[in-house]
Structure 1
Amino acid sequence: MDIRLARLSDAVAINELLAELGYPQSDPAATAARIQTWSDDPAGAVYVADTDQGVLFVIAVHTCPFFEREGTWARIVALVVSTQARRQGIGSRLIAAAESFATHHGCLRIEVTSSPHRTQAHTFYQSHNYTLTPTRFLQNLTS
Structure 2
Amino acid sequence: MNIREVQVGDLETVKVMIEELEELKFDSLVFEKYFISNLNDPNVHYYIVENQNQSLGFLGMRVFYPLHHCEPLLEITELIVMPGFRNQKIGELLIKFAVGFSKTHNCSQIELSSNLKRTKAHAFYIRNGFTKGHFKFSKRL
Please, what TM-score do these two structures have when normalized by structure 2?
A: 0.87
Question: How many correspondences in the alignment?
Answer: 140
Matches of 1:9 and 1:23, distance apart in 2: 22
2:38 match: 38
1:54-93 matched pairs, under 5 angstroms: 54-93=54-93
Matched, 1:49 2:12: no
Matched, 1:103 2:113: no
Runs of 4+ in structure 1 displaced over 6 angstroms? none
Which secondary structure does the structure 2 equivalent of 1:98 belong to? helix
Per the TM alignment, residue 37 of structure 1 is displaced from its structure 2 partner at its CA by 2.8
**Retained in 2: the 8 A contact 1:65–1:72?**
yes
**Retained in 2: the 8 A contact 1:8–1:32?**
no
Which secondary structure does the structure 2 equivalent of 1:4 belong to? strand
RMSD: 1.8
Partner deviation per Cα, 1:61-89 (whole Å, 9 max, x = no partner): 00111212421111100111100100111
Please, what TM-score do these two structures have when normalized by structure 1?
A: 0.86
2:127 match: 127
Matches of 1:86 and 1:114, distance apart in 2: 17
Matches of 1:30 and 1:118, distance apart in 2: 26
Which secondary structure does the structure 1 equivalent of 2:108 belong to? strand
Matches of 2:106 and 2:60, distance apart in 1: 17
Evaluate the alpha carbon distance shift between residue 69 and residue 84 of structure 1 in structure 2; reply closer, same or farther with a 3 A threshold.
Answer: closer
2:26 match: 25
Matches of 1:134 and 1:23, distance apart in 2: 27
Counterpart of 1:24 in structure 2: which amino acid? K
Provide the identity percentage.
24
Per the TM alignment, residue 137 of structure 1 is displaced from its structure 2 partner at its CA by 1.3
Counterpart of 1:102 in structure 2: which amino acid? S
Counterpart of 1:40 in structure 2: which amino acid? N
Which stretches in structure 1 are left out of the alignment for 5+ residues? none
**Retained in 1: the 8 A contact 2:58–2:79?**
yes
